[in-house]
Structure 1
Amino acid sequence: MNQIDLLIKDAKIVDGTGATAYKGSLVVNDGKIENISRGDHEKFLEENQAEKIVDGGGYVLAPGFIDIHTHSDLNFLISGLAESKLQQGVTTEVIGNCGSSPAPIREAGRSMLEDELADYGMELDWSSYPEFLERLSNKEKTINVASLIGHGAIRKAVAGYDDRALTSVEIDEAKDILAEAMEAGAVGFSSGLIYPPSSYGTTEELIELAKVAASYGGIYTTHLRDEGCDMVSAVKEAIEIGRQARIPVHISHHKVVDKECWGLVSGTLEIMESARREGIDVTCELYPYLATSTSLSSLLPDWAHEGGRDKLLKRLESGDDRKQILDFLNDKVARRGWKNVMISDLPGGRYPEFEGATLKELGESWQMPEAEALLRILKEQELRAGMIGFAMCENDMETVLTSRLSMIGSDGSSLAIEGKLAKGKPHPRNFGTFPRVLGKYVREKGLIDLETAIHKMTGKSAARFGFNDRGLIKPGLKADLVLFDEDEIIDRAEFIDPFHYPDGIKEVWVAGSSVLKDGKLSKKRPGKLLKN
Structure 2
Amino acid sequence: MHDLVLRGGEVHDGLGSPSVTADVAVSAGRVVAIGPSVGPARRVIDVAGLAVAPGFVDPHCHSDMVPVLPEAQPFKLLQGVTTEVNGNCGFSYAPVRERDIDVMSGYAGAPVTAGSFADYLAAMEAAGPTNHMATLVGHSTLRMAVVGWEPEMTDKALDEMCALAAEAFEAGACGLSSGLIYPPGSFGDTDELVALAKVAHRYGRPYTTHLRDEGAGLSEALDEAIEIARRARVALQVSHCKTAGPRNHGRAEMILERLRAARASGLDVRGDVYPYLAGGTTLSALLPPSALEGGVEALRARLSGDLSALRAAAEDPVPLRGTGLWRDTTPDGVLITTHADPSVVGRTLASLPGDPFTTACALIAADPSATMVITMMSEPDVRTLLADPLLGIGSDNGVPTGLEHPRTWGCFPHFLGAYVRDAALVPLPEAVRKITSANAVPFALHGRGTLLPGSYADITCFDPATISHPGTYTTPDTPPTGIPYVLLEGVPVVVEGAFTGERKGRILR
- Output the TM-score relative to the length of structure 1: 0.91
Kindly provide the amino acid, as one letter, of the partner of residue 342 in structure 2.
Answer: P
Kindly provide the amino acid, as one letter, of the partner of residue 310 in structure 2.
Answer: I
Q: Deviations over 1:103-131 (max 9, x none)?
A: 111255332234567x76x4x43322221
The aligned counterpart of 2:288 is 301
**What is the alpha-carbon distance in structure 1 between the residues aligned to residue 312 and residue 128 of structure 2?**
48
Q: Deviations over 1:474-502 (max 9, x none)?
A: 11111000111110001111011112011
Query: Which one of 452, 466, 486 corresponds to residue 474 of structure 1?
Result: 452
The aligned counterpart of 1:457 is 435
Unaligned runs of 5+ in 1: 416-421
**What is the alpha-carbon distance in structure 2 between the residues aligned to residue 477 and residue 4 of structure 1?**
15
The aligned counterpart of 2:57 is 66
Contact 2:239 2:271 in 1 (8 A): yes
Query: Which one of 315, 323, 327 corresponds to residue 312 of structure 2?
Result: 327
Matching of residues 183-262 of structure 1 within 5 Å: 183-262=170-249
SS where residue 253 of structure 1 aligns?
Answer: coil
**What is the alpha-carbon distance in structure 2 between the residues aligned to residue 50 and residue 230 of structure 1?**
57
Query: Which one of 76, 84, 88 corresponds to residue 93 of structure 1?
Result: 84
SS where residue 237 of structure 1 aligns?
Answer: helix
Kindly provide the amino acid, as one letter, of the partner of residue 45 in structure 2.
Answer: V
The aligned counterpart of 1:376 is 362
Contact 2:244 2:328 in 1 (8 A): no
Q: Deviations over 1:5-48 (max 9, x none)?
A: 101110000110100011000110011111111x4x3xx3xxx2
Contact 1:108 1:160 in 2 (8 A): no
Does residue 151 of the first structure (1) align with residue 139 of the second (2)?
yes
Contact 1:8 1:27 in 2 (8 A): yes
The aligned counterpart of 1:133 is 121
Kindly provide the amino acid, as one letter, of the partner of residue 359 in structure 2.
Answer: A
Contact 2:393 2:434 in 1 (8 A): yes
The aligned counterpart of 1:514 is 492
The aligned counterpart of 2:319 is none
Kindly provide the amino acid, as one letter, of the partner of residue 156 in structure 1.
Answer: M
Matching of residues 432-447 of structure 1 within 5 Å: 432-447=410-425
Gap change, CA 1:109 and 1:324, over 3 Å in 2:
farther
SS where residue 514 of structure 1 aligns?
Answer: strand
Gap change, CA 1:335 and 1:237, over 3 Å in 2:
closer
Query: Which one of 370, 373, 383 corresponds to residue 385 of structure 1?
Result: 370
Matching of residues 108-123 of structure 1 within 5 Å: 109-114=100-105, 122=111
Q: CA deviation at 1:354?
A: 1.5
Number of corresponding residues: 501
Kindly provide the amino acid, as one letter, of the partner of residue 371 in structure 1.
Answer: F
The aligned counterpart of 1:353 is 343
Gap change, CA 1:107 and 1:327, over 3 Å in 2:
farther
**What is the alpha-carbon distance in structure 1 between the residues aligned to residue 195 and residue 107 of structure 2?**
32
The aligned counterpart of 1:29 is 27
Q: CA deviation at 1:399?
A: 0.9
Kindly provide the amino acid, as one letter, of the partner of residue 17 in structure 2.
Answer: A
Q: What is the root-mean-square deviation in Å for CA atoms of aligned residues?
A: 1.6
Unaligned runs of 5+ in 2: 317-323
**What is the alpha-carbon distance in structure 2 between the residues aligned to residue 109 and residue 226 of structure 1?**
26
**What is the alpha-carbon distance in structure 2 between the residues aligned to residue 326 and residue 130 of structure 1?**
43
SS where residue 505 of structure 1 aligns?
Answer: coil
Q: CA deviation at 1:283?
A: 0.6
Q: Percent identity?
A: 37
**What is the alpha-carbon distance in structure 1 between the residues aligned to residue 376 and residue 105 of structure 2?**
32
Kindly provide the amino acid, as one letter, of the partner of residue 338 in structure 2.
Answer: D
**What is the alpha-carbon distance in structure 1 between the residues aligned to residue 304 and residue 99 of structure 2?**
21
- Output the TM-score relative to the length of structure 2: 0.95
The aligned counterpart of 1:419 is none
Does residue 526 of the first structure (1) align with residue 504 of the second (2)?
yes
**What is the alpha-carbon distance in structure 1 between the residues aligned to residue 303 and residue 140 of structure 2?**
23
Contact 1:435 1:491 in 2 (8 A): yes
Kindly provide the amino acid, as one letter, of the partner of residue 153 in structure 1.
Answer: T
Gap change, CA 1:104 and 1:62, over 3 Å in 2:
same
The aligned counterpart of 1:268 is 255
SS where residue 51 of structure 1 aligns?
Answer: strand
Gap change, CA 1:490 and 1:376, over 3 Å in 2:
same
Contact 1:108 1:156 in 2 (8 A): no
**What is the alpha-carbon distance in structure 1 between the residues aligned to residue 197 and residue 186 of structure 2?**
16
Query: Which one of 418, 431, 440 corresponds to residue 409 of structure 2?
Result: 431
Contact 1:89 1:505 in 2 (8 A): yes
Q: Deviations over 1:330-383 (max 9, x none)?
A: 56736731111111111x4xx323211111112x2xxx21111112222222x1
Q: Deviations over 1:440-466 (max 9, x none)?
A: 111111110000010011112111110
Q: CA deviation at 1:79?
A: 5.2
**What is the alpha-carbon distance in structure 1 between the residues aligned to residue 67 and residue 232 of structure 2?**
32
Kindly provide the amino acid, as one letter, of the partner of residue 486 in structure 2.
Answer: V
Contact 2:2 2:42 in 1 (8 A): yes
